[in-house]
Structure 1
Amino acid sequence: MLLLLQLTILSLVLLTLGFIGVSLWIWLIYGAIVLFTLQSPIWLWSLYAAIGLVLAIPQIRRQVLTKPIMKVIRVPKISETERAAINAGTVWVEGEFFSGVPDFERMNQAAYPEVTPELQTFLDEQVEQVCRMATDWEIQRHKDLPIEVWQYLKQERFFGMMIPVEYGGLGFSNFAYSTVMAKLASRSFIHTATVGVTNSLGPAKLLLNYGTSEQKEYYLPRLASGEEIPCFALTEPTAGSDAASITAKGIVFRDDDGKLMVRLNFRKRYITLGAIATLIGLAFKLYDPDNLLGKGEDVGITCILIPANTEGMILGKRHDPMGVPFYNSPVEGQDVVVSVDQIIGGVEQAGQGWKMLMQALAAGRGISFPASCTGVAKLVARVTGAYAKVRQQFGSSIGRFEGIEEPLARIGGLTYVLDAARIYTVGAVDAGEKPAVVSAIAKYQFTETTRKLVNDGMDILGGSGICRGPRNLLANFYTAMPIPITVEGSNILTRTLMIFGQGVMRCHPYLYAEVMAIETGDAIAFDQALWKHIGSIFRNTFRTLLLSLSRGYLASVPGNKSTKRYYQKLAWSSAMFAFLTDFLLIRFGGALKRQEKLTGRLADWLSWMYLSIATLRRFGAEGYKAEDLIFVQWAMNYSFAQMQQALEGILVNLPIPSIAKSILLSLVRINPLGTLPTDTQGSRVAQALQTTGEEREHLTSGIYLPKHPDEALGRLEQALKLCEQAEAVMSKVKQAIRAGQLPQGKVETSIEAALKTEVITKAEADLLRAAESARFDAIQVDAFTLQEYQGNGLQVPQFSTILAQKNVT
């Protein structure tokens, strides 16, 4: 009995030490206590002492264990371009999930920016004015922004939002820029494509970070005022996501005056604003056969500025991306000669282009895409909620049907998540972070999620969604959504290679240090990283076991009564994620990055953990608003369901025996991380989108809302308000019909009968008529004469001629 008690106590101590993670010395002491308790023989004590000596004394451990392990491990050679991508930016909160013990206090201390009075004024005046100047339909029809809009954008420094005031720009923070972009996106995709490229990846951003003082003083004021229209030429026919394989070539030489020049030949494509740019930023490989720069013959990838009027530049053509009329173009150059002084950052930065681009992309992916996608998502939420309330079928608003509630819930819940992650991410960038992995998560998840939300919106609108015209608010966004999916790297590669493939190397607490130590043969550095890594594996093994058994309840976490449970499940999720990551690293080694189906699922898991913490951070930072709780609950349940799906997908494909696989799968399905939101939760979100009030306003705040009822959204909003006001009156009429007081018939007939029998008053009858009139007007779709339709510049068959020739009436 005493032995059983001793073993129970030792087991509990073992589990506790493993769960909290203790130093090697504590484990050695624990082992000695076990031997003493069990009255172990001298030979076992001697063996234990020898093992303890080897493990505890670094000099002995390195000779006996670490160096032999170093000789056995084979790691793939990391190229300089891959190294630059891994080292780009910083590790932010994403690293917490790889540790298995996320520090939620640190995560919740991250900056959470708010709209300042100055920014609000700019949104209410300048941004509002841009949105008023042209509808998305007008821009689409004319295949360009109106000239007055171009002039206003230049006048109000929209192209220089991120350029400091001393250079003539607006000096906006990343958050301010993101907030402006979200509002512009809710009006037209063309606004964001045009304004976004001038403020994100382009000459201005690179000049700010790397340019010489002379380059900044000359170019930045011209870029801020719109005197120069920039573009950046990176992608080529044979170098898309693999941008390091660019073939654009520049050769250094001396001209007749002895000046150092670069002769460039290149062929680029998919370059936004390329056809109208006056200043081209170019990424190319620089060669210096005579070593005139003192950097060797193969200098490396370099970024340079080329005025568009330089001899040899070939501009003016444009691509037609899905019929969306923003400028996207090929850019070519044949024997283009410019001074080496045009290299961004001067000769000193020659060969540093890849590092510059990776760092700029790391921040840029986390700003422009989330802003644009959030604006679109909010518009979809606003439009579909109103339409679902206004549109009737079988005598009832379609928003009451459970089949419609389901996509409405996705739209509402995920819009809350997107806005939370947008603010969380740009807050970090403004605080000095350059979170490469988070930016890749943002690029992938925002574009993919918004595409799904637009699809849901189109399903809800039905026929109204597919008939293009000024009344249709979603069709052009539906057409445009594949574009951000492909920009700055295919989403497929972003998911499978960047988020986890590069993320694990960058964010894992020990992996990169181990790889670098093996490459350099540094046994001391490898020893320090390896044994900490092994300790981490032990800790995460115990945490995974105990948190799974307790369903996360053993985790010590922050939060109030409405959020604490979610933090516990996130701690549980992180422990399993870290444990499985290490298991797969041990199983596949350097070949793991080629297991793209597995890394894609790990990327999904990591992404939803990040989106979850962003959601919780927003809810807490905004004061735990009661009206937002329905969105938070739906969003967190949905997020854990996505993590569960990723986990099951990994376990199904683990390279382990089938019996073990079946047992593991059964356990995680019996004890899941989460399940999809309940129908009741979804119904609450769906109804909130259809109801005027704080929930709907807060969810969709910051987008452009036209006030005039002749505009599509203004008309829909007015109909929603009138239908809501008339709802109680209509209930009285329907109740009278059911009671037999009024005959069954058309709405107008019922209104007249109800008025005559004094079921309703004249004022109530007028309200019902106004609501029905507004409802009917709001659900109409655009129709054109043949001449009007052909006048849009669309090539359509001359049906009247064809029919006449066939003698058909």
Structure 2
Amino acid sequence: MTAASSDILDLDSLLSAEELELRQKVRDFTRQRIKPDIARWYEEGVFPLELATELGELGVLGMHLEGYGCPGRSAVEYGLAAMELEAGDSGIRTFVSVQGSLAMTAIHTWGSEEQKQEWLPRMAAGEVIGCFALTEPTAGSDPASMATYATKDGSGDDAGWVLNGTKRWIGLASVAGVMVVWAMTDDGVHGFLVPAGTPGVTATPIQQKLSMRASIQCDVVFDGVRLGPEALLPGARGLRGPFTCLNEARYGIAWGAMGAARDSYEAALEYSLGRLQFGKPLAGYQLTQQKLVDMLVEIQKGTLLALHLGRLKDAGTIRPEQISLGKLNNVREAIRIARDARSILGGNGITTDYSPLRHAANLESVRTYEGTDEVHTLVLGRHITGLGAFH
């Protein structure tokens, strides 16, 4: 028994031949390079670093950026790539997001010409890994209250900086060749580039994780870190700097979550067609069909939403509240889909032989980072009422 096409709305007809080709290329990579080993990587809690250069060769690192060795692809193409990679695992898509949407975007948008030339070509190739150090132990959803501080070291144009503070949940920090660090100064928030090996920097991977296990997140301490004037990102001043990068990451998440949801749905559908219970396939029971239909409806809606956001982004008209709507809805629905998919798998669903519970656990992290449900709810609430309710 086989399943019919799940693209009931024929969403593929909304994609160009070039977009479909890019999607297939990333889908093939995910099937061949990620899916065969992801259960083991997740169980062992490792991220295979050799994937960095392979993803660079695939052309998905900083793929929305122009010049400096970056692929220069469209927002929709980046979204399609994010969806296919997260169908493999949220941790793999997170690597691409941290590298491209956060670290590379910060340098590309706010860096000097020298900084761009030094870092972006190697980062696009996966030869140098970057990280984005914003979140702190007591400043997650409220980055304006960050305690990490950079003090001027000297006077005049040649003055350097001394950096002190602590960051938490910083993806890739322990393997990064360059850190994009956001710190408070006497002149507001600024961004700094901190190369690997700089004295006074300690990055410690967080091991006790029930989610995103095939990924790297760290605690980072900056203790009297001395930086030259060339470390400053000259174009970034205030929270607009990091928020610009966060919106890039949030956009990719709206697509990626649908990849995890689709993979969970496909696992449940395949299992229900083959698993006999009370003399017939699970898929033949009304309750199972209701679950499958509810999953598919939300996947089709969420993918259409992501595609609409992509078209807006490519047109240069997308707004932050639209990205918040996409991130809030699609991650929330993806978690429900993954959990319902697990229920169809029964007891077998709690093993690493099947993907839905792994996706559900990962999506708890995706739901939290780059703005929690509550933060995006308040962003939307402020938009529709004109009243801020964050405080």
| 1:477 correspondence with 2:359 | yes
SS in 2 for 1:433: coil
| 1:356 correspondence with 2:241 | yes
SS in 2 for 1:186: helix
1:118-197 aligned within 5 A: 119-125=19-25, 128-134=28-34, 135=36, 136-146=38-48, 148-164=50-66, 166-197=67-98
The answer as to whether partners of 2:137 and 2:168 remain within 8 angstroms in 1 is: yes
> In the alignment, residue 201 of structure 2 is paired with which amino acid?
M
| 1:280 correspondence with 2:179 | yes
What is the aligned partner in structure 1 of residue 101 from structure 2? 200
1:657-696 aligned within 5 A: none
| 1:501 correspondence with 2:382 | yes
Structure-2 separation of matches of 1:385 and 1:126: 23
Structure-1 separation of matches of 2:50 and 2:240: 39
SS in 2 for 1:333: strand
1:99-498 aligned within 5 A: 114-117=15-18, 119-125=19-25, 128-134=28-34, 135=36, 136-146=38-48, 148-164=50-66, 166-202=67-103, 204-254=104-154, 259-287=158-186, 299-323=187-211, 324-344=213-233, 346=234, 349=235, 352-365=237-250, 367-466=251-350, 468-469=351-352, 471-495=353-377, 497-498=378-379
Deviation, structure 1 residue 262: 0.8
Structure-2 separation of matches of 1:248 and 1:480: 28
Larger radius of gyration: 1
Structure-2 separation of matches of 1:492 and 1:198: 26
What is the aligned partner in structure 2 of residue 21 from structure 1? none
> In the alignment, residue 282 of structure 1 is paired with which amino acid?
V
Alignment: residue pair count: 376
Task: Report which of the two has the higher share of strand.
Answer: 2
Give the superposed CA RMSD: 2.4
What is the aligned partner in structure 2 of residue 789 from structure 1? none
Structure-1 separation of matches of 2:199 and 2:49: 28
SS in 1 for 2:102: coil
Unmatched runs of 5 consecutive residues or more in structure 1: 1-111, 288-298, 506-589, 597-809
Deviation, structure 1 residue 286: 1.1
Deviation, structure 1 residue 147: 5.0
Structure-2 separation of matches of 1:412 and 1:286: 49
Question: CA 1:183 to 1:126, structure 2 compared with 1: closer, same or farther past 3 Å?
Answer: closer
Question: CA 1:336 to 1:421, structure 2 compared with 1: closer, same or farther past 3 Å?
Answer: same
> In the alignment, residue 101 of structure 2 is paired with which amino acid?
S
Deviation, structure 1 residue 273: 0.8
Deviation, structure 1 residue 137: 1.2
Question: CA 1:504 to 1:339, structure 2 compared with 1: closer, same or farther past 3 Å?
Answer: farther
Deviation, structure 1 residue 160: 3.3
Structure-1 separation of matches of 2:172 and 2:253: 17
The answer as to whether partners of 2:61 and 2:124 remain within 8 angstroms in 1 is: yes
What is the aligned partner in structure 1 of residue 8 from structure 2? none
Structure-2 separation of matches of 1:414 and 1:258: 55
| Runs of 4+ in structure 1 over 6 Å off | none
Structure-1 separation of matches of 2:290 and 2:333: 15
More displaced stretch, 356-365 vs 445-454? 356-365
Question: CA 1:376 to 1:126, structure 2 compared with 1: closer, same or farther past 3 Å?
Answer: closer
> In the alignment, residue 464 of structure 1 is paired with which amino acid?
N
Which string of whole-angstrom CA distances, capped at 9 and with x for unpartnered residues, describes residues 747-803 of structure 1? Answer: xxxxxxxxxxxxxxxxxxxxxxxxxxxxxxxxxxxxxxxxxxxxxxxxxxxxxxxxx
> In the alignment, residue 436 of structure 1 is paired with which amino acid?
P
The answer as to whether partners of 1:262 and 1:338 remain within 8 angstroms in 2 is: yes
Deviation, structure 1 residue 143: 2.7
Deviation, structure 1 residue 149: 3.0
> In the alignment, residue 411 of structure 1 is paired with which amino acid?
M
> In the alignment, residue 207 of structure 1 is paired with which amino acid?
I
1:30-45 aligned within 5 A: none
The answer as to whether partners of 1:130 and 1:152 remain within 8 angstroms in 2 is: no
Question: CA 1:404 to 1:222, structure 2 compared with 1: closer, same or farther past 3 Å?
Answer: same
Task: Report which of the two has the higher share of helix.
Answer: 1
Deviation, structure 1 residue 148: 4.4
Unmatched runs of 5 consecutive residues or more in structure 2: 1-12
Q: State the TM-score, normalizing by the size of structure 1.
A: 0.44
Deviation, structure 1 residue 258: 8.0
Structure-1 separation of matches of 2:356 and 2:25: 25
Q: State the TM-score, normalizing by the size of structure 2.
A: 0.89
Percent sequence identity is 22
1:543-692 aligned within 5 A: 593=389
The answer as to whether partners of 2:200 and 2:225 remain within 8 angstroms in 1 is: yes
The answer as to whether partners of 2:136 and 2:166 remain within 8 angstroms in 1 is: yes
The answer as to whether partners of 1:253 and 1:260 remain within 8 angstroms in 2 is: yes
SS in 1 for 2:162: strand
Deviation, structure 1 residue 378: 1.4
Structure-1 separation of matches of 2:264 and 2:241: 36
Deviation, structure 1 residue 414: 0.5
Which string of whole-angstrom CA distances, capped at 9 and with x for unpartnered residues, describes residues 559-611 of structure 1? Answer: xxxxxxxxxxxxxxxxxxxxxxxxxxxxxxx6x737x9xxxxxxxxxxxxxxx
SS in 2 for 1:593: coil
The answer as to whether partners of 1:275 and 1:318 remain within 8 angstroms in 2 is: no
Which string of whole-angstrom CA distances, capped at 9 and with x for unpartnered residues, describes residues 177-224 of structure 1? Answer: 11111111112222112122112122x112222222222222211211
SS in 1 for 2:210: coil
Question: CA 1:127 to 1:217, structure 2 compared with 1: closer, same or farther past 3 Å?
Answer: farther
Question: CA 1:485 to 1:406, structure 2 compared with 1: closer, same or farther past 3 Å?
Answer: same
Which string of whole-angstrom CA distances, capped at 9 and with x for unpartnered residues, describes residues 597-646 of structure 1? Answer: xxxxxxxxxxxxxxxxxxxxxxxxxxxxxxxxxxxxxxxxxxxxxxxxxx
SS in 1 for 2:307: helix
